[in-house]
Amino acid sequence: MSQMMDRSTETPDEDRVSISSNESTPANMKKLGVMQSFRNSVRRAVKSPLSPGAKGSKVTAEAKSAGNQQTPSSPSLSAGTPTASPLKNMGHDDTPARKSSSLPRSMTDPNMLKFFRGDKNYSSLPFFPKKKKEKSKNSHQEELAAVAEGLLEENEKEEEEKDEEEEEEAGEEIEETYALPELPHTPLSVMQINKLIENEVLEEAHLNLLALRQEFQQEQERCGEDSMELAKKEKDLSLLYGEMRNKINSLVRDSNSLPNRNKELLVYVARIIQEEEKRAKDPGGLPGSWMEAWREAVLEGVQAKLQSVHLEQKEKNTSWLAVHLGLLGKAIVEDLENVRRHLRWSYPPSFRVFSAYVDSYHEAVGQHLKKVEQQVMELKDQYALLDWIINRYKSEKIMGSVSLQPDMKDESSDLQLEENFLKRLKDKYCCRVKADVRSTLDRIIQFENEDVWSEKRSPDKEDDFLDSPFHMDIWTKVKSFANNSRKIDADLEQKAVCSCLEELKDFPGRFEAEFRRHCSPLKPQPLWTEYQITYINSFTSLLEHMEGYRDSCPDQVEKFGREVNGLINWLIGGLQDHYKEDVKPYLRRMMTRKWLTVDEDFEQLYRRTELLSQHCALMRPPHVQKFARELHYYAVKEYIGQLMKNNYSCKNRKHEKAAGKIRHQWDKLVELFENMKSEHDWLHYVGDELSDIIGQKNKTDIKDHLQPLVEHYPDFSKKHLVAVLNFRGLLRGSEHRLILQRLAQLKKKNPDVAAGDKKQVLFNDMQVTVNTDCLSNLPFSCFNFLLPDN
């Protein structure tokens, strides 16, 4: 303690002498002389209070004058007790020698700086002589101020270099082995030992505890276990050891928060723990491991450190968690830097101090995050927490920091989290992702209703196709979740995408229900058709976007695809149904007497088909091809099917006019469906081949024109041929029978033709109406078999 008190700066008298010597210098002295003289005086006045040889102890002016005076012994020591610290007897100083990194007070004190710069307020200080008004004095003082500033800059630069060197230097490691000092012959009283523990005179308190414990063991050997005095002494030992352990725990807990206060004490703490670990099996000690208690104290200190990190209320700051995690990482790094550079040199190597603190942080941070997680509700905060746990904690920002190397190379960087904590956090994040996606989908439906359907606004076009941009909004949302989650880890990316697709699965059905409810009154209008094509395109694009995630989420993509295809089929079906209803009255009047004389019905059929064809040009592949095929097939089936309904029979050579009209109208339909890029080319022949049969002048030539029709359409049968002949006006007769026989021969001759191609079925889907009027033309003798006598 005397050494601690002896350490001091120079006295004001010395400062006064230094300044006086400078003032007495003649005005005409050379500048170099002035600088040299002033430098010497300043160096005497501002000499560092922590000289390298002092080893941390203060030196007062009185101690200097007194010389090396003997320090009186501690009043708490009993007679015969060594006055020196027991660790000094072991060959160790109280404090490991370290260079001072602080600037001398006389150089950094703002009062001193103002003095050198000539602040008039300091001319009245007692150690400062009165300022003279002569011009030479003012000039001299300006020179002194300039020199002082130069010295300050030079000194600061030197100190910064020293600080950098000190950081690179390794601390002095405490030896693992030590020699225990001689124990006192007579230990202090229990009250005195307890007082020493309270005053943190641990080395002396521990030696007296060991002496008291030795007395207890000796009496135990002499008296056995039944002595009352022995029981009292055992109780005293237990209480004192408990106090000692509590004090040590307290010092260890605060050691990294207040390193300068108890740095020296930690050396004694380490030796006490080592000694008690050796005597663990001897009577009179405390149960439990002292080393384990030390580790628990380290953990408690770390927990207290984390608890002190500022945590704002989320109601006051939306970035509360990001700010807290940033401060948390900074506190961890600073704490471990202090352990690595300073604290670990107070312990022997066997304590593995740095590892103990790293492990404690892994455990304490895991516990701390569990408490913080309970307040995390928003998606951005859940993402920030996951990212901090999985990536940032291990990164160069915290545990991988350059300032902690190379010590961290042999340490684990993994947090000690509660079982299933990370899985629970990921699941919670994915639930928020689903909720966010659902909210986006709700806004899309609301927008379509309020801004499109209610306003009856025409859809936009993109690349010459009708399009609603919501599919891009959804894809962007899913892609952002995928990309951001991938930055954390691949597992979270897969879970987040699957969550998005699970929520998307119900979107087509919800969209269809709202579309039905709001747009059904628009069915008669062209706007209804435009909306249907728009949403066919948009959902087709959306499905294409989601197909990119089939490898990671095959089941979810498959289910979503089924829902989308169901919606698209409903929309296409709606277009077809509307077209069928629209052209039905005009098709019904085909192949009739009116049709033969008037073109109005066919023109209406053609215009409506052409309008739908124009709309189809705004539909994206692949559904436009499918729709064109189905529309082509329906138009051909219904147009040719009118021949099978026996609505009209040509007479008086009107069959030639009918054949010509069929051929002309058929050419227009073929051209129309070719423009639609229909893939049903096999339907193009039927109109021309039937018009050839109908238009033959000679009945006998009809049988020679059957073969192309039978080859192209294997399902063309006898009943279909009879209907065509009826339309031509050939109802009976030998020629009628010969034509039917020729058809039978062609089918029998070629079995493949008879079987037909199941992919090219046309006539089987046509309804044939039987002509019952032919019975009236039969002679009465044909019905004789119906009489009762026959």
424-433 pLDDT per residue, tens: 999 999 999 9
131-181 pLDDT per residue, tens: 344 444 444 555 555 555 555 555 555 554 454 445 444 567 788 888 889
DSSP notation for 117-177: TT-GGGTTSTTSPPPP--HHHHHHHHHHHHHHHHHHHHHHHHHHHHHHHHHHSPPPPPPS-
Q: Quick one: pLDDT at residue 586? A: 95
Please compute Rg for the chain using Cα positions. Answer: 52
Q: Quick one: pLDDT at residue 48? A: 34
Band of the pLDDT at 598, cuts 50, 70, 90? very high
More confident residue, 19 or 529: 529
pLDDT surpassing 80 at residue 350: yes
The mean of the pLDDT values for the chain is 79
Q: Is 460 helix (H, G, I), strand (E, B) or coil?
A: strand
pLDDT surpassing 90 at residue 29: no
**Alpha helix locations (H) across 308-351?**
320-341
Q: Quick one: pLDDT at residue 63? A: 33
Backbone angles phi, psi at 770, to 5 degrees: -75, 135
- Residue that the structure tokens 């959902």 belong to: 539
Q: Is 782 left (phi over 0), alpha (psi -120 to 50) or beta?
A: alpha
Q: Quick one: pLDDT at residue 39? A: 38
Q: Which amino acid is at 503?
A: E
Mean pLDDT lowest for which of 146-160, 199-213, 709-723, 731-745?
Answer: 146-160
301 neighbors 254 (Cβ within 8 angstroms): yes
Cα distances from 781 to residues 199, 731, 733, 786, in angstroms, run 143, 20, 18, 10
pLDDT surpassing 60 at residue 67: no
CA dihedral 148→154→159→162, nearest 10 degrees, is -150
Best-predicted range by mean pLDDT (109-123, 162-176, 695-709): 695-709
188-221 pLDDT per residue, tens: 999 999 999 999 999 999 999 999 999 999 888 8
Mean per-residue pLDDT for 688-704?
Answer: 92
More confident residue, 153 or 494: 494
CA distance 594 to 648: 10
CA distance 600 to 386: 72
752 neighbors 760 (Cβ within 8 angstroms): no
72-96 pLDDT per residue, tens: 333 333 333 333 333 333 333 343 3
Return the axis-axis angle of helices 623-641 and 554-588, rounded to nearest 10°: 30
More confident residue, 428 or 111: 428
Cα distances from 157 to residues 150, 153, 162, 400, in angstroms, run 11, 6, 9, 30
Instruction: Provide the whole-model pTM.
Output: 0.69
241 neighbors 286 (Cβ within 8 angstroms): yes
Band of the pLDDT at 265, cuts 50, 70, 90? confident
Band of the pLDDT at 68, cuts 50, 70, 90? very low
Q: Is 58 helix (H, G, I), strand (E, B) or coil?
A: strand
Q: Express the helix, strand and coil content of the chain in percent, nearest 5 each.
A: 70, 0, 30
| 256-274 core/surface letters (b: 16 or more CB in 10 A; e: else) | beebeebbbbbbbbbbbbb
CA distance 717 to 357: 93
648-687 pLDDT per residue, tens: 999 888 999 999 999 999 999 999 999 988 999 999 999 9
Q: Quick one: pLDDT at residue 225? A: 65
Q: Are strands 58-59 and 460-462 parallel, antiparallel or unpaired?
A: unpaired
Residues in the chain: 790
Q: Any idea what DSSP says for residue 411? A: S
CB < 8 Å & 24+ apart, contacts of 161-164: 162/99, 162/101, 163/101
Mean per-residue pLDDT for 718-730?
Answer: 93
Mean per-residue pLDDT for 15-37?
Answer: 38
pLDDT surpassing 60 at residue 7: no
Cα distances from 205 to residues 217, 249, 383, 715, in angstroms, run 18, 16, 53, 113
CA distance 372 to 362: 15
- Residue that the structure tokens 């943190």 belong to: 200
Q: Quick one: pLDDT at residue 153? A: 58
Q: Quick one: pLDDT at residue 759? A: 67
Q: Quick one: pLDDT at residue 390? A: 94
Q: Is residue 479 within a helix (H) or strand (E), and if so which, with residue range?
A: helix 470-488
Give the Cα-Cα-Cα angle 713, 716, 717 (nearest 5 degrees): 155
